[in-house]
Amino acid sequence: MTKKLNLTPYLFLAPALLVIGVFILYPIFAVVYYSFTDFNIVTPPVWTGLKNYTQLFQDDVFWLALRNSFIYLLVTPILIILCILLAIAVNRKLPGINAFRAIYYVPVISGSIAVGYAWRMLFDTNGLINGVLLSTGLLQEPIQWLAEPALTLPLAMSLTIWLGLGFYMMIFLAGLQNIPEELYDAALIDGCNAFQKHWNVSLPGLRPQIVFVAVISSLAAIEVFNEIYTLTGGLGGILNSGVTMVFYLWKQAFRLQHAGYASALAIVLLVITLLFSVFNIRSLERGSEQD
Amino acid sequence: MNRKLQFRVSFSALAMLLVAAIFLAACGAPAAPPPQAQVIKETVVVPQTVVAQQTVVAEKTVVVPQTVVAQQTVVVEPTAAPNPEAVIPNVEPNAEVTLWTFWLSPTFDDYIKSTIARFQKAYPGVKVNWEDHQATFQDDLKNAFAAGKAPDVINLSVSEGWVSDYATKGLLLPLDDKVSQDVKDLYFPGLWNEQLVDGKNYQFPWYQGLSVELVNMKIYSDTAGLKLEDFPKTVDGLPALCKTIKEKTGTLCDIRLTTNDLLSQMVYEGGVKVISEDGKTFTFDSPEGVAWLQMYVDMVKAGTVDKSVLVTDQDRVGLDLFSSGNAAFYQTGPNLIREVRANNPGLYGYLAAVPAPVGKSGVLGKGLMSLSVKNDTKFPNASLALAQFFTNPQSMLEFSKQVAIYPSTPKSYEDPFFAAKPIAIEDSAKPIAKDIISKYADIVPTIPHKADVNDIVLQAVQAALFNNVPAQQALTDAVTKANALLAQ
């Protein structure tokens, strides 16, 4: 007896499959193909085999970009610490506290490009930061912040932290409000001071949120682009000081028109991100099991 | 109906009417002189494009009294002359062409639309679809080429090297054998011969810019005590000027390297020969190249230039610094004075303009904007006609009246507009513009892997400026890397 093929489920799935196929699967397969070609976007690609990959591992800027991307991951622990402190600070029943929470959230809803340009104006040679430092006598000569290679990454990282502060704070705030008040009462009865109370109660209680923030903020950090682009005016900083993996990928594809080489970079980035995601998800699962 | 058929029908109609007229005349009074010869003369000289009008006129002749036919037929309406701006022949009937401009909308919408309307009068039946692209112009264009949807007529920057970039990839139509010598002669020869690829031209020179030094007299004269007439005439006078300004006013010089095309800057400013005659070896680590780079290294070490402006690839960064009133001078085009006026009206009253200093090459500059036609356009003649029309003397003159740009066509400068004494600072270069533009020339040779080599040079220049690498070593390392690219 033959089973009759029921097409109805496939018809329901078709729109989603079509979208996934066109906008996710096709681009991924196309990038894999282009990574084995010499492709300048405007003329048809020419098959070059593994040339892009061999060139990539001999490319000093690629290793610099990889190093910078990993340095950029420092934003994750800084964000976690700052956001937890901020969440604890705003997790009080004080008059006007909702206004503070909203103010901290404003950078999240501001466009990162617009914020980047605002940041750039702040740190301009004739910008507000130098103005304040000069007028208070802390500086005799203005600092050319944006032209100092050593400052490119720290400035971009501080921008990323500022942009993400409100969002991650909200996640920790929600986590804090889920911790039963009795646990804090018990800690007080046990003689804990304010620091010990949060160390022994708040932090363990926020474990799921910490893992979640660590996963998403580290993935965002490794794929950073907007902050670098706006702060360095599209050049990646003096002496490539701000070049990260995604920025280098963009530069190769759209500035130098080496889309084939950029595709090889994208594949390497994909593998790194995948490994990172697997590691993070394993950590998340391990954390859940322990809980 | 095509023109040939139109002509035949019209000619037949005229011939029949002529026969009828002769017949009627023969039937009339014999005293009347045979006037038909005049009618024939008129018919013969009718150009094909206006035959229909002649037909209509000729039809009128049949309603006049027979005896005075001859006198009536000589009042044939004057034949409309061909539009003098329609200089490209064989434009495809009912062609539809797309034009992409770079950052001209919305400021110049009226100008562009009115020029398209004039074009359609000169070339009836051609439809023009105009799009203006701005910050994403290059990305949009590359994507359009990749998708096979590139516009027929494209506004490309000569100064940024876009024409040669696309022409080298075989994407643009070579113009030399597509347009007549009369059309070529409309343009300054130096501009027509810019961005040649293998000796062929791929662009109609469009609007040009003049580099002037905008001077903030409040800093330059009032505070630093300098005289405008002493502004350096050559680039090598800038370090001393910056030193003086820094010492007397504490402000830094607002000077920008052309970070996306340093090779060109080396050629114009430093008189550097960047590549060997046979194109097989880079040579920009020569003493001239080192001297050029050392000049900037010395200025950075002396702390007299704004470093973030020096290595930015965005003209706006330097312009903004000048507009904020924090720089003594800035090199830009007079067309951007309107930006200064809009952003800082208080500074406008302190502005002065002097000619930009000349580099060791002695060449005053190169072209700014052009219009090119894509190689595989369906309507090559209509596209050529549109590109040529926008760059013709009349269109250029009209554009010059809108903003401080300068025509690529000598004839435009014959208009009294250019002879008028300048009043606003934006117009200060008008009387000398023709002389300067006529001397523009592209002296940069064709450079293989240009974008990559420029990136290598940029890294070398930054290493010398900010990482204490000696100029000679930085450039020699860059030459080695660039030569390795040539060997690939």
CATH number of the domain residue B465 falls in: 3.40.190.10
Burial readout B225-250 (b: 16 or more C-beta within 10 A, e: otherwise)? ebeeeebbeebbebbebbbbbbeebe
Select the residue of B145, B311, B317 nearest A238 (Cβ to Cβ).
B311
With an 8 Å Cβ cutoff, are B466 and A40 in contact?
A: no
Kindly list the residues from chain A whose CB atom is less than 8 angstroms away from the CB atom of residue B307: 144, 147, 238
Q: A141: which chain B residues are within 8 Å (Cβ-Cβ)?
A: 303
Closest C-alpha among B339, B382, B369 to residue B208: B369
Per-residue confidence (pLDDT) for residue B79, from 0 to 100: 55
Nearest by CB to residue B313, choosing from A43, A146, A233, is A233
Determine the pLDDT at residue A283.
75
User: Token pair for residue A260?
Assistant: 């084939």
Q: Which residues of A touch B303 (CB under 8 A)?
A: 141
Chain B residues whose beta carbon lies within 8 Å of the beta carbon of residue A234: 313-314
User: How many CB atoms are located within 10 Å of the residue B446 CB?
Assistant: 15
Residues B197 and B263 in one domain: no
Q: Domain check: are B103 and B187 in the same one?
A: yes
Type of residue at A40: N
| B234 within a domain of the structure (yes/no) | no
φ, ψ (nearest 5 deg) of residue B234: -125, 155
Residues 6+ apart with CB under 8 A from B259: A235, B311, B312, B313, B458
Helix (H, G, I), strand (E, B) or coil at B85: coil
- Tokens at residue B226, please? 């300098």
Tell me, yes or no, whether B105 and B195 share the same domain: yes
What residues in A contact B466, CB-CB < 8 Å? 147, 149, 238-239
Q: How far is CA A180 from CA A97, A186, B223, B229, in A?
A: 21, 10, 68, 79
Q: Which residues of chain A neighbour B326 with C-beta distances below 8 Å?
A: 125-126
Statement to judge: residues B119 and B173 lie in one domain: yes
CB atoms within 10 A of CB A226: 18
Number of domains in chain B: 3
Q: Tell if the pTM clears 0.80, that is, is over it.
A: no
Q: Name the residue range of residue B10's domain.
A: 3-73
Token duo for residue A63: 């290793």
Domain identity same for B163 and B185 = yes
At A150-177, the pLDDT tens digits run 999 999 999 999 999 999 999 999 999 9
> B110 and B45, same structural domain?
no
Q: Identify which of A261, A273, A274, A228 has the alpha carbon closest to the alpha carbon of residue A62.
A: A261
In order of A148, A226, B386, the CA distances from A238 in angstroms are 7, 17, 43
Give strand pairing partners of B371.
Answer: B155, B204
In a domain, B338, yes or no: no
B169 neighbors B142 (Cβ within 8 angstroms): no
Name residues whose C-beta falls within 8 Å of residue B224's C-beta, 6 or more positions apart in sequence. Answer: B244, B245, B248, B249, B328
Q: Are residues B101 and B205 in the same domain?
A: yes
Spatial distance between the Cα atoms of B96 and B98, rounded to a whole number of angstroms: 7
At CA B256, angle to CA B157 and CA B293, rounded to 5? 105
Is residue B468, in this structure, part of any structural domain at all? yes
A147 to chain B, any CB pair closer than 8 A? The answer is yes
- Give yes or no for A215 touching B (CB within 8 A): no
Considering the domain architecture, whether residues B432 and B453 belong to the same structural domain is answered as no
Cβ within 8 Å, pair B466-A41: no
- The answer to whether position B392 is within a domain reads yes
> Cα A9 vs. chain centroid, distance in angstroms?
38
Question: Quick one: which of A165, A151, A167 has its CA closest to A231?
Answer: A151
Say if B82 falls within a structural domain: no
Q: For residues B116 and B135, state if they share a domain.
A: yes
What pLDDT tens digit does each residue of chain B (488 aa) get?
A: 455 545 454 545 444 444 444 433 333 333 333 333 333 333 333 333 333 333 333 334 444 444 344 444 444 444 556 789 999 999 999 999 999 999 999 999 999 999 999 999 999 999 999 999 998 898 899 999 988 999 999 999 998 889 988 998 899 999 999 999 999 999 999 999 998 888 899 999 999 988 889 999 999 999 999 999 999 999 999 999 999 999 999 999 999 998 888 999 999 999 999 999 998 999 999 999 999 999 999 999 999 999 989 988 778 889 989 999 999 999 988 877 888 888 899 999 999 988 899 999 999 888 889 999 999 999 999 999 999 999 999 999 999 999 889 999 999 999 999 988 888 888 888 888 898 899 899 898 888 888 899 999 999 999 999 999 999 999 999 999 999 999 87
CA distance A285 to A219: 18
Residue B335 lies in a domain: no
Tell me which DSSP letter residue B172 carries: B
Query: Of the spans A44-53, A281-290, B21-30, B42-51, which averages the highest pLDDT?
Result: A44-53
**In this predicted model, what pLDDT tens digit does every residue of A105-160 receive, in sequence order?**
888 888 888 888 899 889 988 889 999 999 999 988 888 898 889 999 999 999 99
Beta-carbon separation of A238 and B466 below 8 A = yes
Domain match, B194 and B128 both:
yes
> In the listed set B437, B460, B476, which residue is the last one of a domain according to the structure?
B437
Q: Encode burial over B157-172: b for 16+ CB neighbours within 10 A, e otherwise.
A: bbbbbbbbbbbbbebb
For tokens 């001209």, the residue is: B104
Examine the domain organization and report whether B103 and B68 are in the same domain.
no
- Which domains are assigned to chain A? 46-290 (1.10.3720.10)
- Under an 8 A CB cutoff, do A147 and B466 touch? yes
User: Taking CB atoms and an 8 Å limit, are A144 and B307 in contact across chains?
Assistant: yes
In this structure, what DSSP letter does residue B32 have? S
Mark whether B202 and B110 lie in a shared domain.
Answer: yes
Which of A:222-251 have CB within 8 Å of B? Answer: 233-235, 238-240
Give residue-wise pLDDT tens across range A189-219.
988 898 899 999 999 999 889 988 998 999 8
Interface confidence, given as ipTM, is 0.82
- Nearest CB to B139 within list A125, A233, A254: A254
Strands of the B127-133 sheet, one edge to the other: B127-133, B96-102, B153-157, B369-373, B204-205
- Residue type at B67 in one-letter notation: T
| Burial class of residue A5 in the structure, from the number of CB atoms within 10 Å of its CB (0-12 exposed, 13-18 middle, 19+ buried) | exposed
Give residue A2's pLDDT band: very low, low, confident or very high (50, 70, 90).
Answer: low
The CA distance from A57 to the nearest CA of chain B, in Å, is 17
| B388 belongs to a structural domain | yes
**Does residue B78 belong to any structural domain of this protein?**
no
Residues B270 and B265: their CA atoms lie apart, in Å, by 7
Q: Is A124 on the interface with B (CB under 8 A)?
A: yes
Task: Look at residues B301, B336, B302 and name the one whose alpha carbon lies nearest to residue B322.
Answer: B336
- What single DSSP character describes residue B253? B
Of A41, A255, A256, the CB nearest to B146: A41
Does residue B452 belong to the interface with chain A, where contact is any CB pair within 8 Å?
yes
CB contact under 8 A, A125 and B252: yes
